[in-house]
Each structure stands twice: as C-alpha cells, then as structure tokens.
C-alpha cells in the first residue's frame, strides 16, 4: 500500500508540549471511589460550557480535603493527547458556610462517614 505509519516516541519530558491551562470554578458533588471528583463547574470560556463531570486530580491529598457541596477553584490542565486533570485545587467556600449563607440543603443519602451523596440549593440567588 505504500503507507508508512510513523510512531513518534517522546522520551524526554523536556520535549513534551506544555498542557493548556484553564481556570475552573465549581461545586464538588461527589468524590468517587476511583479517585475522581465530580464537579458541577461554571463555563470555561474557550473550552467548555457549564456542566457536571468527573475530574482526576494531580494531588491525591485533595481528595481528603474537598467535601461534597463545597465550592472549589482549580487549574484545569489539558494535555495535547486529550488527557485532563485538576491542579492547584483550592476550597473557596466550605459546605458549612454555604449551608448557613445560601440555604443549601442535602439530598440523597448519608454515607457511613456522615457525608451525603449529593446537595441541592433550597432557595436564594447564586450560581449554585
Ligand atoms: Cu466540563
């Protein structure tokens, strides 16, 4: 056929293209058993509209710190090969604060550790 498939192996990290970086803001809905966090995120201009989807995180300690219902800001990294993950995850508003300020109430079911599987807003303005 005369077609030659050339596979390019990148052997040194110095040659890897830098991932693109977007800023993400959203609410953590769930922390999955597989180590991803399900985030209901706002519009990411130039990349994707607001939606709810799972994200891997670069630093596994983040999984211990975030809690369902809390708001986060993070850097969304997107590699050339399509892989994506969150870095620099910061908790911008904790769940107890949300509950007292915005009338967020839990739904779903309580887990063994006392957390809930999901959250919804009862009333009041705001994105979440
Ligand atoms: Cu998304």
Domain that holds residue 94: 17-112
- Whole-number Å distance, alpha carbon 100 to ligand 1 midpoint, is 28
What is the total count of domains within the chain? Answer: 1
* DSSP tag of 13: G
Assess if residue 101 is contained within a domain.
Answer: yes
- Whole-number Å distance, alpha carbon 16 to ligand 1 midpoint, is 24
- Tens digit of pLDDT at every position of the chain (128 positions): 555 555 454 445 556 679 999 999 999 988 888 889 999 999 999 999 999 999 999 988 888 888 888 889 999 999 999 999 999 999 888 766 666 665 555 444 555 565 555 555 444 444 44
* DSSP tag of 71: E
- Whole-number Å distance, alpha carbon 35 to ligand 1 midpoint, is 17
Nearest to 32 by CA among 63, 58, 62: 63
In tens, the pLDDT along 42-67 reads 999 999 999 999 999 998 888 888 88
Rounded-to-integer distance, Cα 128 and Cα 126, Å: 6
The pTM score is 0.66
- Whole-number Å distance, alpha carbon 48 to ligand 1 midpoint, is 6
Assess if residue 117 is contained within a domain.
Answer: no
Assess if residue 4 is contained within a domain.
Answer: no
Assess if residue 120 is contained within a domain.
Answer: no
> At 91, which CATH number?
2.40.50.320
Query: How far from 36 is each of 7, 18, 84, CA to CA, in Å?
Result: 31, 23, 12
């Amino acid at each position: 056929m005369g077609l030659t498939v050339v596979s390019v192996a990148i052997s040194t990290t110095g040659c890897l293209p830098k991932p693109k970086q977007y800023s993400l803001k959203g609410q953590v809905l769930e922390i999955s058993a597989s180590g991803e966090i399900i985030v209901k995120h706002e519009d990411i201009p130039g990349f994707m509209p607001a939606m709810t989807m799972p994200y891997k995180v670069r630093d596994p300690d983040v999984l211990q710190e975030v809690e369902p219902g809390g708001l986060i800001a993070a850097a969304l990294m997107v590699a050339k090969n399509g892989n994506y993950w969150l870095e620099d995850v910061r908790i911008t508003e904790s769940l107890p604060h949300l509950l007292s300020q915005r009338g967020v109430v839990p739904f779903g079911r309580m887990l063994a550790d006392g957390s809930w599987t999901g959250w919804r807003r009862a009333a009041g303005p705001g994105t979440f």
